[in-house]
């Protein structure tokens, strides 16, 4: 069970209300969450993120627009001074010292997550957030060693993975969530994702969680059940990297077939669990699998 995107610096929050793990004082409260999750028989995972140019925005049910300083907003940073939308705040372009500081913040946050009792880390490099912004030529217009070629654009995520891995126990898994395609001409592509998976496999990343999109607004995507599963399948087949499939995977049978057919190693659920918090129990029944039930629910089992 993973947390929401948890910011590694204050300006790395998507909204002012987001979780954060940029200081030691935040460990204790997050440790309560990890302890509760483990107490229910699951493992607790921490998703670490930096929102980049998509930071300092209102929560979705509050419109999602930019939040001004007088309402708790803050300055944002990005690879290049290009706002996500015309109405959004123009981000400050990171210099190399700023990049190094954020890489270090990821590693510090990973160490805090371990102290809090989390047993898996996922680095959020998807959906138009900072690590994705460096990867995509649509948002990265730099001319230094962090821009231009794919090797340069991938430099920050490679440095981040190495820094986190150096502080995260070798025996515990490290996942990376990516947008496997930008769905826009001239953007990040599935071929690029396979290339990156091969590189990060050499850096002891354990699994690629394959989502898509989010780097520019207004993109028309043809969605349907399992529409992102082929990205996970390519990563698994062509890069030899274990992969996670996401996106409109709703039924237990559908999820089971994704794994059984070898398209992905795991299925990652989010919205479906919001729709149905009892999805694991319903899935077990649908597939004829016996799983432990909470003792308070035994009378509802049959």
To the query of whether residue 227 is one of the catalytic residues in this protein, the response is no
Q: Which helix (H) or strand (E) holds 93?
A: strand 92-93
**What are the residues facing 245 on neighbouring strands?**
210, 267
Structure tokens belonging to residue 188: 């990040």
What are the phi and psi torsion angles at 71 (to 5°)?
A: -115, 20
Gyration radius of the chain over CA positions = 19
**Catalytic pick from 106, 129, 227, 278?**
129
What is the C-alpha to C-alpha distance for residues 278 and 269, in angstroms, rounded to an integer? 12
Residue 139 region, left (φ>0) first, then alpha (ψ -120 to 50), else beta? alpha
**What are the residues facing 267 on neighbouring strands?**
245
Other C-beta atoms closer than 10 Å to the C-beta of 160 total 28
What is the C-alpha to C-alpha distance for residues 270 and 247, in angstroms, rounded to an integer? 9
Structure tokens belonging to residue 146: 């962090």
> Which residues are known to be catalytic?
129
């Amino acid at each position: 069970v993973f947390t929401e995107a948890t910011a590694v610096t204050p300006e790395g929050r998507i909204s002012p209300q987001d979780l954060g793990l940029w200081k030691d004082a935040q460990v204790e409260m997050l440790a309560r969450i990890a302890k509760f999750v483990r107490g229910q028989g699951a493992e607790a995972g921490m998703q670490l993120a930096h929102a980049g140019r998509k930071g300092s925005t209102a929560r979705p049910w509050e419109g999602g627009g930019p939040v001004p300083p007088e309402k708790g907003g803050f300055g944002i940073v990005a690879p290049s001074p290009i706002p996500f939308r015309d109405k959004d705040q123009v981000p400050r372009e990171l210099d190399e010292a700023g990049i190094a500081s954020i890489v270090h913040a990821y590693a510090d946050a990973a160490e805090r997550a371990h102290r809090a009792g989390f047993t898996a880390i996922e680095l959020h490099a998807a959906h138009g957030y900072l690590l994705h912004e460096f990867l995509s030529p649509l948002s990265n217009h730099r001319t230094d060693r962090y821009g231009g070629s794919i090797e340069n654009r991938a430099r920050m995520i490679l440095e981040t993975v190495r820094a986190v891995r150096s502080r995260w126990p070798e025996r515990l898994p490290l996942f990376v969530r990516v947008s496997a395609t930008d769905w826009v001409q001239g953007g990040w592509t599935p071929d690029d994702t396979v290339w990156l998976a091969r590189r990060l496999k050499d850096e002891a990343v354990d699994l690629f969680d394959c989502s898509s999109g989010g780097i520019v607004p207004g993109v028309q995507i043809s969605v349907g059940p399992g529409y992102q599963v082929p990205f996970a399948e390519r990563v698994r087949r062509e890069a030899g990297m274990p992969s996670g499939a996401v996106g409109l995977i709703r039924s237990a049978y559908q999820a089971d077939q994704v794994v059984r057919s070898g398209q992905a190693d795991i299925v990652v659920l989010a919205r479906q669990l919001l729709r149905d918090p009892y999805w694991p129990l319903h899935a077990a029944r649908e597939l004829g699998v016996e799983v432990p039930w909470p003792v308070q629910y035994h009378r509802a089992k049959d």
